[in-house]
Amino acid sequence: MTAPQLSLDLLNLKSAYCSQKLQPSDLMALVLERIHHCPSPHIWIFQTPESDLMKRAKALETLSTEERNQLPLFGIPFAVKDNIDVAGYPTTAGCPAYQYVPRHSATIVKKLEEAGAIVIGKTNLDQFASGLVGTRSPYGACPNPFDGRYISGGSSSGSAIALTLGLVSFSLGTDTAGSGRVPAAFNNIVGLKPTRGLLSLKGVVPACLSLDCPSIFALTCQDAWEVLQIASGYDPEGSFSRRAVWPQSLGLSEAFHFGVPLKRQLEFFGNAQAQTQFEKAIIALEKLGGTQVEIDYEPFAEAAHLLYGGPWLAERYAAIQGFIEASPEALFPVTRKIIEKGKNPSALETFRSLYRLDSLKRQIEPLWETIDLLVLPTTGTIYTLEQIENDPIVLNTNLGYYTNFMNLLDLCAWAVPSGFQVNGLPTGISLVAPAFHEKVIAEIAARFHQEQSVSMGATKHPLPQKISSFQHAQESSLLLAVFGLHLSGQPLNYQLVDCGAKLAFTGKTAPCYQCFVVDENTPKARPAAVRTSKEKGRSIALEVWEMPHTALGAFIARIGPPLGIGNVLLDNGSTVKGFICEGGNALDGLKEITEFGSWRVYLNQRT
């Protein structure tokens, strides 16, 4: 099997390993050969020494078949953006003077390596992850592999190029403003920007810490999903890490509603070809069963403006304050110009912007009741290296028109290829959904990619024809919300414990629930939550337990009327299964206790 004949997508490599046609050391030799002959410059800031690669490969080869089967990424090569730590290798964040050698790998790198993956090297980026262009690096600008006169997109430029050229199977980027999506669009690959906090930030050089988000580039949606399942998870040592609250929805497939900005709000910055490609994408989504719904994009656009036009620049300054004040000349000129603006915002401006952002979130919330996802051009256009050099800030801002709002509004997105312009440059769309809805829209993203693309990245390898199901790593269990007698310390909590359920987290419903007492003044007294309007309802305290699927049937059999199990909307916008009341006549004569907001608070006042 020679280098040109081998596709590095996960499905193909796993098949080759399983059939014994390939060993990790063979693959490392092929990867090194491809890197040696690669015509695209400035991809790598640091390459893993050949001796280290072969040592890692040989160690994997000593494993038994059973041990290999326990490593889901056995022998899989990947690249790491050089603002993410790999133990023993330098981290520069695109700034030579900032370089340090970490003793420990970032949490996400550690998880991937423990799953059998092999780091090929650290990739080039817009310095300190500040930019969407791929040109703001003292290590050299990264030209587009499809046409070297154009930009590759940033800031995760090297990671995207290494993947599209077939040098690795997947790569890690970061995405604070669009850095995991713009390069995906410009390189004909998939970019998954997960929910903020789903991937740990431990070992990642901060750009804008409260908004930073590691991201995944892959050749297929299935590959990106598999990597996410391995790399994700709550990290008690990771800043802003969050426990996943997956909706119980099985996902969208046959029929769905997708939002598109009003025609007057769509921006292609004079690029008629990009506009045509987006219009074709809309038609393709409709053929997949989608119904287009025009939405007001203004709240998203205003939120996007806040990222660089508001006080969040101060967070970028805070991330490297000691370094930039001690060595300002070490920064790339345009990077320094942008980050130094972070010294200016006042606390007053910060709070005003936070209030405005909250207002924008509330304007957008009702939108998700009418659409399942939002569909946008990943970018409105693409620029040449010369254009960016002549106007680096304004044109970079244009590239963020459809991306900069994402983390401020706590959304997730799949960026997938949408074909090519007549000049041969790739285009892409982004499928956007609320936090923790990656799986809900994954199949739509995969099906669209399958329909629109004939090859993976810049390689000649065709997309795999089979679209596998998208499952969570912990799919054998479900999340169940409880409000009353099953709460920790309450009389029926033992029923959860006995069936193997574990407390996942405490939280609240969305502010649209009423709560009543069933069998008041009896030992069987219990709360009944009913979803209602925001005018009548409020948030109700609850616990969410992780329950094995195998125990659900027996548990439900114990539940008496008027209670049952249904969908419960949480205050973060996600949905879980939980106790609900049948409603209607079942509520007649019941005392309402909504005002207490909690079963425990109600019990305390009753005694």
**Nearest 10 degrees: Cα torsion 569, 469, 19, 53:** -40
Catalytic choice (7, 14, 40, 81):
81
User: For residue 46, what are the CA distances in angstroms to 58, 124, 386, 389?
Assistant: 22, 9, 27, 25
How many other CB atoms are found less than 10 A from the CB of residue 246? 19
Which residue blocks in 78-192 are alpha helix, DSSP H?
A: 107-114, 157-164, 182-187
Cα distance between residue 600 and residue 396, in whole Å: 52
Tell which residue, 388, 378, 404, has the closest CA to residue 274.
378
Any idea which residue has 């969407």 for tokens? 132
Q: Token match 């790739």: residue?
A: 426
Classify each residue of 113-131 as buried b or exposed e, where b means 16 or more C-beta atoms within 10 Å of its C-beta: bebbbbbbbbbbbbbbbbb
For residues 123 and 129, the answer to whether their CB atoms sit within 8 Å is: no
d(CA 577, CA 446): 26
Spatial neighbors of 245 by CB under 8 A, at least 6 apart, are 436, 479, 505, 507, 544, 570, 572, 574, 576
Inter-residue contact 177 to 214 (CB < 8 Å): no
Q: 3-state DSSP call for residue 215? A: strand
Active site residue: 40, 105, 156, 179, which one?
A: 179
Catalytic annotation present for 179: yes
Burial class (CB in 10 A: 0-12, 13-18, 19+), 269: middle
Residue 81 among the catalytic residues: yes
Q: How far is the C-alpha of 461 from the C-alpha of 468, rounded, in Å?
A: 19
Neighbour tally for 242: CB within 10 Å: 17
227 half-sphere exposure, CB direction, 13 A CA radius: 34
Check whether the bond before 7 is cis (ω within 30° of 0): no
Please state whether the peptide bond connecting residue 562 to the residue before it is cis, i.e. omega within 30 degrees of 0. Answer: yes
Provide DSSP, 104-125: S--HHHHHHHHTT-EEEEEE--
Contact in structure between 145 and 183 (CB atoms under 8 Å): no
The active-site residue, picked from 155, 159, 200, 418, is: 155
Beta strand segments in 311-400, E: 373-377
For the purposes of burial, counting CB atoms within 10 Å of the CB of 62, is it exposed (0-12), middle (13-18) or buried (19 or more)? exposed
Specify which residues 247 forms β-bridges with.
none
Q: How far apart are CA 311 and CA 316, in angstroms?
A: 10
CA 17, CA 83: separation in Å to the nearest integer? 31
Helix ranges, 406-465 (H): 438-452
Counting Cα atoms < 13 Å in the Cβ hemisphere of 573 gives 19
Half-sphere exposure of 479 (CA within 13 A, CB side): 24
Tokens representing 443 are 């199949």
Q: Which residue numbers are catalytic?
A: 81, 155, 179
